Amino acid sequence: MPDITLVEAVNLALARAMAEDDRVIVFGEDVAVDGGVFRATDGLLARFGPDRVLDTPLSEGLFAGLAVGVAAQGFRPVAEFQFMGFMLPALDQVMNHAGRLRNRTRGRLTCPLVLRAPYGGGIHAPEHHSESFESLFAHVPGIRVVVPSSPARAYGLLLSAIRDPDPVVFLEPKRLYRARRQEVPDDGAGAPLDRCFVLRPGTDLTLVTWGAMVAETLDAAQALDREGVAAEVIDVATLKPLDTDTILASVAKTGRCVIVHEAALTAGFGAEVAARLADDGLFDLRAPVRRVAGWDTVMPYPRQERRYMPGTDRILAAARGLMEYA
């Protein structure tokens, strides 16, 4: 079993899901012949045919609404957005329809769809190709928001997302698409959609992150380790519904927490994590809850993007700051 990349794991999960359930169909822009701009759907057309892998006309709002309609008919559509920056025209469908169809009809019509999009910066792409606004989706009732950070989790979480009877927004950290390889058995095992993953145990400090920033956060944890600080690293993975228990349990142990995300600070999802700590975890906190996040400005054009994205240095500085508190 060869080691595979995150984007190959997405491809593997898609193929698996399509093989095991013929209600699963894939559509979006350039997903068929071209296999997707990141090749996430490569080979699916050849294997499953044009009835199950469809290139739509160019409109994200359209194919999100199309997904709602075909899902209500019992299909399990997986729609690909080429970049998260192009999901905004679909937000009306996500918030006003996908998240509501089951509730609105008291379960008569349901909406088992998955909307996949690569997100985040760091690949020197043009404007609108590097955004992270997962917190917008995390505010939408009735949906799930899932962000993998490794090939294995991408495979397991995507399978679970496709099998889930409700709508899932599945955000793939494109900077990690080909960053590293991992052995991923194609065993069809899903990963849970309601749990954080503790990637590394530690007792001194909790680092909470997800998706694109997991790599930098793990690097920071390793650097801290060399300084004698044992950092626990939590990959939230499923932002909504949020598994607060795992985070609270960790901070109950460490008393210190740094939250790391690439999205802009204000009203980013890190705020939600901090808010939970400020409520249910307050008396466990020995130090302020710090957020290391993108600045509250527009993601710059590629020449400056490194200045926008939090790096290991900023995580380390925040962590070291918290270690000053006894």
Partner 1 sequence: MTDRVADFHVDFTRFLAPDGTAVAPLPGFFDDPTLRRLYGHMVLARAFDTKAIALQRTGRLGTYAPSLGQEAVAVAVGAAMVDTDVLVPSFREHGAQLVRGVTLQELFLFWAGDERGNDFAGPRQDFPVCIPVGSHAPHAAGVALAFKLRREARAAVCVFGDGATSKGDVYEAMNLAGAWTLPLVFVVANNQWAISVRRAHQTAARTLAQKAVAAGFAGEQVDGNDVVALCHALRQALDRARAGGGPHLIEALTYRLGDHTTADDASRYRDDEEVGRHWKEDPIARLRAHLTARGAWTRDDEEALLTDCAARVEAAARDAQALAPEPAAALFDHLYATLPPALAGQRAALVQAEADHA
Ligand X SMILES: Cc1ncc(C[n+]2csc(CCOP(=O)(O)OP(=O)(O)O)c2C)c(N)n1
Residue 232 contacts residue 198 (beta carbons within 8 Å): yes
- Residue nearer to partner 1 on the CB measure, 20 or 194: 194
**Catalytic position from the list 97, 129, 139, 261:** 129
Site for partner 1 in 170-199 (CB under 8 A): 194
33 binds ligand X (CB under 6 A): no
Residue 166 contacts residue 112 (beta carbons within 8 Å): yes
> CA–CA separation, 291 vs 111, rounded Å?
34
58 binds its own copies (CB under 8 A): no
Q: What is the DSSP string of 28-57?
A: ESS-STT--TTSTTTTHHHHH-TTTEEEPP
Residues 152-191: x where in contact with ligand X by CB under 6 A, - otherwise, as a string: ----------------------------------------
User: What is the side-by-side strand order in the sheet with 53-55?
Assistant: 53-55, 24-28, 76-80, 114-119, 168-173, 144-146, 238-240
82 binds ligand X (CB under 6 A): yes
Site for its own copies in 70-89 (CB under 8 A): 85, 88-89
Closest alpha carbon to 161 in 132, 135, 194, 119: 194
48 binds ligand X (CB under 6 A): no
- Residue nearer to its own copies on the CB measure, 12 or 251: 251
Segment near partner 1 (CB under 8 A); pick from 31-39, 150-158, 203-211, 281-289:
31-39
- Residue nearer to ligand X on the CB measure, 89 or 192: 89
Closest alpha carbon to 234 in 244, 224, 225: 244
46 binds its own copies (CB under 8 A): no
Q: Which residues contact 119 (CB under 8 A, 6 or more apart)?
A: 83, 84, 131, 132, 134, 147, 171, 172, 173, 174, 211, 212
**From ligand X, partner 1, its own copies, none, interface partner of 272 (C-beta below 5 to 8 A by class):** its own copies
- Residue nearer to partner 1 on the CB measure, 255 or 294: 294
H-helix segments, 121-211: 134-138, 151-163
248 binds its own copies (CB under 8 A): no
**Taking the chain, what is the end-to-end CA distance rounded to the nearest angstrom?**
48
- Shortest distance, position 198 Cβ to partner 1, whole Å: 17
Residues 255-284: x where in contact with partner 1 by CB under 8 A, - otherwise, as a string: ----------x-------------------
Q: Is the dihedral of CA 302, 307, 313, 317 positive or negative?
A: negative
Q: Is 129 a catalytic residue?
A: yes
Find the helix or strand (DSSP H, E) in which 308 lies. Answer: helix 305-308
300 binds partner 1 (CB under 8 A): yes
- Residue nearer to ligand X on the CB measure, 37 or 287: 37
What is the rounded radius of gyration, in angstroms, for the C-alpha atoms of the chain?
19
> CA–CA separation, 287 vs 282, rounded Å?
10
Segment near its own copies (CB under 8 A); pick from 47-55, 151-159, 223-231, 261-269:
261-269
Q: Which residues contact 165 (CB under 8 A, 6 or more apart)?
A: 110, 112
- Shortest distance, position 301 Cβ to ligand X, whole Å: 15
166 binds partner 1 (CB under 8 A): yes
Q: What is the contact surface with ligand X in residues (CB under 6 A)? A: 29, 58, 60, 82, 86
- Residues with catalytic annotation? 129
